[in-house]
Structure formats: structure tokens, C-alpha cells
Copies of this chain bind each other. A is one copy, B any other.
Amino acid sequence: MKLPQSAFIREVGPRDGLQNEKQFVSTEKKLEWINLLVESGLSYIEVSSFVRPDWIPQLSDSVDLFTRLKKKDGVTYAALVPNKRGLMSAFEVDADEINFFVSASETHNLKNKNASTEHSMSDIRSMITECKNNKKTTRAYISTVFGCPYEGAVDQMKVINLANQLLDCGVDEISLGDTIGIANPLQVNQFLENLVKEVPVNRIAMHFHDTYGRAIANLYTSLLFGIEKFDSSNGGLGGCPYAPGASGNVATEDVVSLLHNLGITTNVDEKKLHQATSYISEQMNLKPVSKLFSVWNGSKESI
């Protein structure tokens, strides 16, 4: 087992982070935050989602937000869509990449999408085809991979089966989500041992939440399997509104710090990233979850 030389962050703060915070952050502030994230070197931003505005009012400005983005070359500005109506909106605003989601747990999928997993997969298949026709790259989230707040344990073979189905219909990347942060490194290890036999590692991203403080441990375990792509949220913002008790995506700053400490390159400038963390924290009057933040702000000596 050998660590990769470089790794790639999918910054999901503006979408996955904000959707579970109560406050509405103005479009102007979102634009400023996204610019700071891009300036730090992040090359993938999940900007927003095209869900029903009454479901997730925090992201109700997604059309306006995408329209006003000043895109930087080499950066992917992605949109999450739940259905064809959302897909049409994402096409209209010319999102660079379209992201879909399905849950490995039937109950979670039902609560999240009001449909069976099979029905959701059928919709996603058809939408991926439309994306290909429109020359858009695609990404699919499989959520509750390591446990469901309603059903408990999740069958790992069902996850691998869903991943294979998604790859068969041509999705570019699959993000495997520990939606409630319940995974432990032993479980991640056992799961990935099976997964890598069936699925090409370079099409997989891991999406960890830090509810139980295990996200970095799980992420490190994934690195040992050659996985190079990770979702994270600046400031550790977010969670999942349909997963009770879920708290916070792993913080981008903790992920970048780990990767650099391991000698893995990311193209992210930690000091510039800290400016983005400071900005969104101040705007939302929240304390960033990463303890690193207090090191940056409080320490007179570099460590």
C-alpha cells in the first residue's frame, strides 16, 4: 500500500455545507467566498444545487449565483441536481459538471428523493445520457455508504452494485458518502478491499463527515488504497438535512493539512485557504470546526 503523490479536493462547502446551515448567505457573499476558495488553489467547487427552493431555501439563489460567477480557467464549477427540471436549470446556467445523488439505503433514498433507489437510478441513467449529449461531465453521489440513520447497517455489496451500474452508464466520477459520519477505518478498509477489485480507483472519490471525529482516519485509510479524490467543506460547514444527527463535512483545511503533512501535493495554498475560512466564518458568525483555525489565529510561532 502506497500513498498517492497528489490528491484532489472537491470543495462542497457552498452546496453541501450551506444546505444544512440555517442562515441564508447572500449571493454576493457566496460569490466572494467561492472566489477566495478558487484563489486558494481549489480547482473544483460544487457551487449550488437546483432543488426546490422551498426544500432548501439556503440554495434558492442557484440560478442567480451561477449566472454571476466569474469563472476561472481550469476550475470546475459543478451543480447538484435532483431531477430533470433541475438538470434543465443546470444546462441553462452552463454548469461545468452535473452531480446526481442516490442513497444506498432505501429508507434514506425515500426520505431524500421521495423515490425508490431503483427509480432514482433509472432517472439518473437517463440524465447522464442527456449530459453526454450536452457534453457535460457527470458525478454521482452514493450516500449512506457506511450506515443509514434509519436502517442502520448498509449492505456493502449493494453499494458496489450501485457503483457498477453508475459506471456502466458512463458517469465520470462516483463520490461515496459517509453521510452520518459513522464509518470507522476498519470498516473503510474492509469495504475498499472489496471495492477496488470491482471498480477503477481513479473514478472514485470519498466523502466523509466528521460527526464522530473519524473523518481524517477514514480518509487516510482511503489514501492507502490509492484513492486521490476527496470531498470536503471549507470550515467544516454542513451536514445533511435528511440525516438526523449528521454534523459537518470534514473540513477542507484539515484535509489539506493532512495531505501536505504526508507529502502529498494538492495545489492548495493553506494561508490563502485560511482567508476563505475566515471570510465565511465571519459572515456566518460561526466558529470553524477545525482546531487548526485557532492555531492559525492564535499561535505566534509556526509549528
Q: Which residues of A contact B (CB under 8 A)?
A: 3, 147, 149-150, 180-182, 184-186, 210-217, 220, 244-245, 247-248, 250-251, 254, 257-258, 261-262, 289-292, 294-295, 298-301, 303
Of A147, A211, A217, A298, most B-chain CB atoms within 10 Å: A217
Cβ-neighbour of A220 out of B211, B212, B217, B262 (below 8 A): B217
Contact A184 B261 (CB under 8 A): yes
Residue of B nearest to A183 (CB): B261
Of A215, A254, A301, A303, most B-chain CB atoms within 10 Å: A303
Say how far A86's CB is from chain B's closest CB, in angstroms. 28
Contact A251 B301 (CB under 8 A): no
Say how far A141's CB is from chain B's closest CB, in angstroms. 19
Q: Indicate how many identical chains form the complex.
A: 2
Contact A258 B214 (CB under 8 A): yes
- Cβ–Cβ < 8 Å partners of A180 in chain B: 303
A213 with B290, Cβ < 8 A, contacts A182-B303, A186-B262 known:
yes
- Cβ–Cβ < 8 Å partners of A262 in chain B: 184, 186
Residue of B nearest to A3 (CB): B186
- Cβ–Cβ < 8 Å partners of A299 in chain B: 244-245
Contact B212 A245 (CB under 8 A): no
A303 CA to B251 CA, complexed, in Å:
22
A254 with B213, Cβ < 8 A, contacts A184-B261, A261-B182 known:
yes
Contact A292 B212 (CB under 8 A): yes
A212 with B244, Cβ < 8 A, contacts A186-B3, A262-B184 known:
no
Residue of B nearest to A184 (CB): B261
Residue of B nearest to A245 (CB): B299
Say how far A187's CB is from chain B's closest CB, in angstroms. 8
- Cβ–Cβ < 8 Å partners of A244 in chain B: 299-301, 303
A217 CA to B211 CA, complexed, in Å:
14
Say how far A259's CB is from chain B's closest CB, in angstroms. 9
Residue of B nearest to A243 (CB): B303
A208 CA to B303 CA, complexed, in Å:
16
Contact B245 A303 (CB under 8 A): yes
- Cβ–Cβ < 8 Å partners of A182 in chain B: 261, 303
A70 CA to B210 CA, complexed, in Å:
37
What are 15 A-B pairs at a CB distance below 8 A? A147-B303, A149-B301, A149-B303, A184-B262, A212-B257, A212-B291, A213-B213, A213-B216, A214-B258, A244-B300, A245-B298, A245-B299, A245-B303, A247-B291, A247-B298
Residue of B nearest to A247 (CB): B291
Of A147, A215, A245, most B-chain CB atoms within 10 Å: A245
